[in-house]
Structures are given as structure tokens and as C-alpha cells.
Amino acid sequence: MLDTILAVLRDGWGWTLLRGTAMTLLISVLGMALGIVIGILGASVKTSGPRLLSLLVSLYTTLVRSIPELLIIYLLFFGSVQAAADLADALRWQDAMTSWFPALVGILAIGLISGSYGVEVFRGALKAIPAGQIEAARAIGMSARQRLFRVVLPQMFWYALPGTNNVWQTALKDTALISLVGLVEIMRAAVLGAAATREPLALYLMAGALYFAIGAASQGVFVLAERRYGRGMMGHA
């Protein structure tokens, strides 16, 4: 098997997998960033927003979490591909359409999916902040902005880190589904390599190793973040 993997690497498929890895990271990071924004806004609405908006956020989270991730990707892709193609023709952006439209769909899909889980993660984090701390901050004259940035957000992010880690790992694996709409990420690169070399086991083992490396590295980052930002918080956990 080692000889087979080395032969595949000599054929240039190692670089293809690495480019797919870069695309996987791009889609995961940008999609997760969008999901965090959605999660924080949705959690704020569910915690202290108007009832109608809270019901809409609940509908969004229930709907997205009830539909398979692959179906969400298909709905976004086929629901917007014609409009995107027409816009690309009007602006003469056909090359950009071919290269980046699947990536944009992937970012949006990952953002919507991770955001639906992030709402509950950040809502739980907000509820974990002791109400007495906010009342004390108000009592000593802190403005709403000061309370937000000095009391609420630092603790919210720390309490949300474990749940956010789980959402990130799921988002990372969900990027493999976006290969079905033409995005060349790790999984798509492995499929193309397997078809060209007729060595599917070697290519899929390499793809699995890349996913594991990213997952293990990001797990270490989250652990370090919990330790770094948890200083002075352990007494409240």
C-alpha cells in the first residue's frame, strides 16, 4: 500500500489533494464564520428579542436541522444556479461563475447549517453567565456597550467554545457533500484521483488522513483557546 501511495503522489495527485485541502479549509472557515454570526444574532433574539422574531429563529433552526445537509446544498444550488448564470452572462463573468459559484453555495450552506446549531450553543452560553454579574456591572455604572464587551461577550465565547468545537467538526465533514455540486475539495480531489489512477483505496486513505489532520489540529486549537480564555473563569464554570 505504501508503494501505491508513493506512486499516486508521483503522478501529481498529492498536489491536487493539497489544493482540495486549501479549498476545504476556505469553505469551512468562511462558512463557520457566517454560522457564528447567525448563531450569536439568533441566540440574542431568542434570549431577549421580540416574540415574533424569536419564533422565526426557532422555525429556522428546526427547519434546517430537520432537513438533510445534502438536500440543503441541492436546494441552494439548483435554486440559484440559473439566476447566477444569467447574472454572470450579463456581467461577462462566466469564468468566475464556473470557478466560484459552487464555493459560494458551499459557504452559504455551511453557514446556514452551522448557524442553526450555533443558535442553541450561544443561547446556552448566554444563559450560563451569572445574572448577578450583569446586575453588578449595571450597578457600578457600566454602559450597555461596556457590559456587552467587558462582561457578556468574553464569558459567552468561553462557555460556547466546547459546543462551537463540535459544530466546527461537523461543518468540516459537511464540506465533503459540496463536492456533489462540482466543488473540488478534498473528497472531490480523491474521487477524481481514484478514477484516473484506479487506486481508490490509496486516494481515500490519503483523503481520510487529511481530514484527520485538520480535525486533530483544530481540536488542539480549541483546547488551547479554552485554556487561554478560561483564565479567571474556572471558578464560574
Grid coordinates given for 155 = 464569558
- Rounded distance, CA 137 to CA 146, Å? 9
User: Looking at residue 74, what is its pLDDT?
Assistant: 94
Q: What is the dihedral of CA 95, 96, 98, 104, to 10 degrees?
A: 180
CB burial string 20-35: b at 16+ within 10 A, e below: bbebbbebbbbbbebb
Residue 80 forms part of a structural domain: yes
CA–CA distances in Å: residue 75 to residues 34, 105, 145, 147, 181 = 19, 10, 39, 41, 11
- Rounded distance, CA 120 to CA 35, Å? 12
Using 50, 70 and 90 to split pLDDT, how confident is the model at 31? very high
Residue 224 forms part of a structural domain: yes
* pLDDT above 90 for 120: yes
Which of 59, 50, 73, 29 is closest to 119 using CA atoms? Answer: 59
Using 50, 70 and 90 to split pLDDT, how confident is the model at 234? low
Residue 74 forms part of a structural domain: yes
Using 50, 70 and 90 to split pLDDT, how confident is the model at 237? very low
Residue 234 forms part of a structural domain: no
* pLDDT above 70 for 116: yes
Q: What CATH number does the domain containing 220 carry?
A: 1.10.3720.10
pLDDT top residue among 95 and 166? 166
Residue 56 forms part of a structural domain: yes
- pTM over cut 0.85: yes
Residue 165 forms part of a structural domain: yes
Highest mean pLDDT: which range of 81-85, 133-137, 163-167: 163-167
> Is the alpha carbon torsion for 129, 231, 114, 42 positive or negative?
positive
Number of structural domains in the chain: 1
Grid coordinates given for 149 = 464587551
- As a whole number of Å, the CA-based R_g of the chain is 21
Spell out the residues 6+ positions from residue 93 whose beta carbon is closer than 8 angstroms to its own.
87
Mean pLDDT computed over 52-75: 94
Residue 235 forms part of a structural domain: no
What digits encode the pLDDT tens for the residues 152-183?
888 888 899 999 999 999 999 999 999 888 88
Residue 153 forms part of a structural domain: yes
Which of 138, 183, 143 is closest to 21 using CA atoms? Answer: 183
Query: Could you list the residue range(s) of the whole structural domain that residue 186 is in?
Result: 2-229
Percent of the chain with pLDDT over 70: 95
